Amino acid sequence: MLDMVVRNATLPDGRKGIDIGVADGRIRVVDAKVTAPGGRELDAAGQLVTPPFVDAHFHLDATLSYGLPRVNRSGTLLEGIALWGELKPHLTQEALVDRAMAYCDWAVARGLLAIRSHVDVCDPRLLAVEALLHVRDRVRPYLDLQLVAFPQDGLLRSPGAYDNLVRALDMGVDVVGGIPHFERTTAEGAESVRKLCELAAERGLPVDMHCDESDDPHSRHVEVLACETQRLGLQGRVTGSHLTSMHSMDNYYVSKLLPLMAEAGLSAIANPLINITLQGRHDTYPKRRGMTRVPELLAAGVPVAFGHDCVMDPWYSLGSADMLEVAAMGLHVAQMTSQDGMRACFAAVTTTAAQVLGLPDYGLTPGCRADFVLLQAQDPVDALRRRATRLAVVRNGQIVATTPPASTTLHLADRPSAIDFAPPRSGPG
Ligand code: FE2
């Protein structure tokens, strides 16, 4: 007995005409023709059904605060950090919860059902930690929220940050964060990486650091992160977020660094929308793009996920929880325009991101949780091209969001009246 059958789906791997049978919140069968009786039917009409979108890097404590207490005039990372520092004393738990909950609504509407969010632990009140732990519980039925203890102002540079971070972990935060490039010296940056990796090893937790988010080619904390990962046996549990200095590094050095990262089993997270706007700000021309070396990391065997990082906050004034927008920017900035490249960018906001976050039971195979999204698209590349409408979002076998298909009415003589930006299906020749 099935609770739901999705009919005639196209899957991201290219299989067409597939039915997906769901019972008790799990995918039970994925086959060309599911004949089991009962349950609700959802007609995919040949369109793409994908596992849900995953945002590997976000800041839910700052989101939707754009303009508070003022806008970022220069648009730089450093003014954003200063602005966040101005806002922090005025934060209330109620406002933090309201904004985070509103963003999670946007996320579900966009088929984004898992988010790894950093949470700033430098305010000793830990208001944001309390607020996001509360939000994590509230959204659990429909969204997986992982929290990273993030010492925004520096683990060693900000008084009390280490103790606050430990308290945040004691309260239930899931992942150890860091920001070595923002410490006072390179040596202190390396020391912060060592301390944080040792803390993660003691507690059996993953690590996800903002690492080398800089245009400085000598910002090389990722090599310390790789080294500590191996020393402490943390392989497969450690992620470097941003890694933008790799864009500016000498190629010879990178030829040593990439295998070092792969040996350590590191993962990488790029944040295309933010990296392309915040990096290269001190350049005149030529102006660097700043995003880390995505195709080269992938070729070296390092998984690369994409994150949205920011939406309407001190660092970024735009965004609407659309991971297809993130992936589309990523493929442009990294020039990943081949079919394989575009599919890797789609994976960076779906399957690869789920792998980096260690999400259990994620996917479209029997036994996985029945979480998926019906898109108004023929395949992943078409979804990227059209920023496809999320026709239906399913969580645990229940529909949690629907959006009508995008359609425009044309008023032109001798042309079709309705278009949805699907290419015409013409015959041979
Ligand atoms: Fe970030």
Strand-pair partners of 41: 5
Average pLDDT of the chain to the nearest whole number: 96
Quote the radius of gyration of the chain (alpha carbons, Å).
Answer: 22
**Is there a single domain that holds both residue 108 and residue 252?**
yes
Would 392 be classed as within a structural domain?
yes
Q: Does a structural domain hold residue 94?
A: yes
- Cα-to-centroid distance, 326 and ligand 1 (Å): 14
By the 8 A CB rule, do 274 and 237 touch? no
pLDDT, mean of residues 385-398: 98
CA–CA distance, 359 with 110 (Å, rounded to integer):
19
Give the chain's domain count.
2
Note whether 17 and 47 are same-domain residues: yes
DSSP letter at 54? E
Does 20 fall in a domain? yes
Reported pTM: 0.97
* Residues designated catalytic: 213
**For 182-233, what is each residue's pLDDT tens digit?**
999 999 999 999 999 999 999 999 999 999 999 999 999 999 999 999 999 9
Whole-number Å distance, alpha carbon 310 to ligand 1 midpoint, is 7
> Which has the closest alpha carbon to 56: 14, 8, 121, 114?
114
Tell me the residue range of the domain where 395 lies. Answer: 2-51+363-408
Ligand 1 geometric centre to CA of 368 (Å): 30
Residues 59 and 203 placed together within one structural domain of the fold: yes
What is the pLDDT, as a whole number, of residue 297? 98
Tell me how far the alpha carbon of residue 210 lies from the centroid of ligand 1, in angstroms: 6
- Asked if residue 224 and residue 80 are part of one domain, the reply reads yes
Tell how far the Cα of 17 is from the centroid of ligand 1, in angstroms. Answer: 40
Evaluate whether residue 184 is within a structural domain.
Answer: yes
- In whole angstroms, give the CA distance from residue 429 to residue 426: 8
Residue 424 lies in a domain: no
Report how far residue 297's alpha carbon sits from residue 79's, in angstroms, rounded to the nearest whole number: 30
Q: Report if residue 113 sits inside a domain.
A: yes
Is 175 in the same domain as 305? yes
C-alpha 265 – ligand 1 centre gap (Å):
21
Q: Give the model confidence (pLDDT) of 243-291 as tens digits.
A: 999 999 999 999 999 999 999 999 999 999 999 999 999 999 999 999 9
Q: Is residue 88 part of a domain?
A: yes
Q: Does one domain contain both 217 and 270? A: yes
Assess if residue 153 is contained within a domain.
yes
Q: 18 and 67: one domain?
A: no
> Is the same domain home to 199 and 347?
yes
